Amino acid sequence: MKIEYLDGARLRRALVAGCGFVQHRRAELNRINVFPVPDGDTGTNLALTAAAIADGIRSSHDAAVGTVAQRAADAAILGARGNVGMILSHFLIGFAEAVRNRARIGAADFAEALHRAVEHAYRSLERPVEGTIITAMREVAEEARTSRAVDFADLVEGLLVRAKSACDRTPDLLPALRKAGVVDASAKGFVHLMEGMVAYVHGDPFVALDATPVFEQVGAAAGRVEYPVTEETYRFCTEALVRGAALPTEREVRDFLRNRGDSTIVIRGEGVLKIHVHTDEPEQVFRWLRGVGQLVTHKAEDMAAQHATVERAAASHVQLARRPVSIVTDSACDLPIEIVRAHGIRVVPLIVVFDREVLQDGVDIDAPTFVARLKAGEHASTSQPPPRAFLDAFTAAAEDGEAVLGVILGAALSGTYQSAETAARKTEGSRVELVDSAGASLLQGLLVLRAAELAELGRAPEDIAVELRRIRAQSGIMFTVDVFDYLLKSGRVGRGQVMIAGLLDIKPILGVSPEGKVLPAAKVRGRANVLPRMLELLQEKIPRDAKQLRFGVVHVGCPEMIDQVSAALRERFGERETLVGPATPVLATHVGPGAWGVAWQLED
């Protein structure tokens, strides 16, 4: 049966299959990653980018190829990781622009769209390096233009053959690859993306069309190659995502970054800016970005520390680890998905139960859907993840890290920590260090974020754990509820207290102690008095000269509180990094719609 056109449904299914295949090949790509830096992260970066793309389009029902292509490009921008992810994002942006407003396209249109995609990708690079993914993309586009195939099945098979040929010749173009005896990891990743798409056409998206190199064949090349100190003079692989209504142009961002690093790639979309640069001054870059918009995510990974980790793994003949420490947490942390993806954090979902319907938090149900069901009168309960879920997460995290650090929902609030402890004892082949966050929501989430940042700087797991416990002792969270029914069901308050509070219009402010227990912090009359009183309490707890201070603002079905609370925090404490978002169902179950809270993290 011939495939004579490409519509939205076909593009979506093919991309999801290709992205799945890339994720399946992550470890192999990490092992052969020697250019531009042998830090063993190309597979991880491409896999995380591919996961974001697949998540962005999987549930779409759009019929038009142009709409699906734009969704894929948008998802790629937000989820792009590393050089390879940024280049793939530009490729998809160019493709989406070429098929905009098209319901379906034929083979000739597809070839032209690939050509436009490659042009866009090349323009995004100040110094395109042949012998990488960009070469494979270009040769595929050239093959498409010369192909006489009108059947997409025949066309993509021919394109895959050309992509493999381009990948096989990458060592001829890059001496570093030739010396290591491997092909370029990013070009190989593009081949895998196409393999998945072509295999989908043949009905099996998870079987390669021919053999691919395995660890024993290629060796841990990333660990055998010396760090190129003469070519790569900058230390930190720096990435950031910024949102705003008046962001600088791509050219303006490039001009700022040009003298501060190399490997610079900038994506400027509608209301969003994504940057990647190797630099020695990541904080200077972040400060500048905070001045142009809302800095949603930012990370600075020590490439030299990564390479040292890869070297140790290769020398000891164990599975390839690309970072000293991998971070695991649970879904009670309330971290925005952009931050989870930016730092490669693994999140174990807690369990939400409606009657007999068992759902995974953040996987089977999201916060808005959960709140809508609560408001509709449905009753829910929650449960900790089984040890098996943590065991799987720790095992997967150990593939990337020499050690695993888990920052877990407070033991005084849930049995989740005990579940993680059980799994940690059973995890083989990697050390697992656990930290009791003694909290939940963004109090826990901010600790997870700090753990990820310290891990990216090469800190040892035990040192990170000590630092997190120090920070937790001087940090906290306060929240308020709009209705008492949910606290009553959870046993946090008595029925008599609820009746009196309702009659007197009393609104509670609750806090979490350093030991992780929920305690009353204050009571006020009327909803309007909650925020002023909470600000007073915060000022009592936060030193006037605090320098390294972060906030988190979380809500349950009342997004209007985000701007109000954030503005009040800025007025009282100045410009501070502030994470915002809806509470996961785990917290919402106990506090109910209309609840909101403020977490603070003091790192001084």
72 closest CA partner among 132, 137, 19, 138: 19
Say if domain 236-305 classifies as CATH 1.25.40.10.
no
More confident call, 309 vs 456: 456
Q: Is the pTM of this model over 0.85?
A: yes
pLDDT surpasses 70 at 499? no
Which token pair is 156? 């993509």
Provide the residue ranges of all domains of the chain, joining segments of one domain with +.
6-210, 236-305, 321-473, 476-602
Average pLDDT over residues 314-325: 67
> pLDDT tens digits for 412-444?
999 999 999 999 999 988 899 999 999 999 999
CA distances from 532 to 48, 152, 227, 268, 338 (A): 41, 63, 54, 38, 31
DSSP string, 21-80: HHHHTHHHHHHT--SS---S-HHHHHHHHHHHHHHHHTT-----HHHHHHHHHHHHHHH-
pLDDT surpasses 80 at 492? no
Residue 300: per-residue pLDDT = 95
> What three-state secondary structure class fits 549?
strand
Residue 208: per-residue pLDDT = 45
Number of other CB atoms surrounding residue 290 within 10 Å: 15
Range of lowest pLDDT (141-155, 407-421, 499-513): 499-513
Q: Which CATH number fits domain 476-602: 3.40.50.300, 3.30.1180.10, 3.30.200.20, 3.40.50.970?
A: 3.30.1180.10
Residue 577: per-residue pLDDT = 95
User: What is the CATH code of the structural domain delimited by 6-210?
Assistant: 1.25.40.340
DSSP string, 505-530: TEEEEEEE-TTS-EEEEEEEESGGGH
Average pLDDT over residues 26-48: 86
Average per-residue pLDDT for the chain = 90
CA distances from 460 to 434, 449, 451, 585 (A): 13, 16, 11, 33
Specify burial of residue 200 (Cβ count, 10 A radius: 0-12, 13-18, 19+). Answer: buried
Residue 484: per-residue pLDDT = 65
Q: In CATH, what is the architecture of 321-473?
A: 3-Layer(aba) Sandwich (3.40)
Say how far apart CA 107 and CA 101 lie, in whole Å.
17
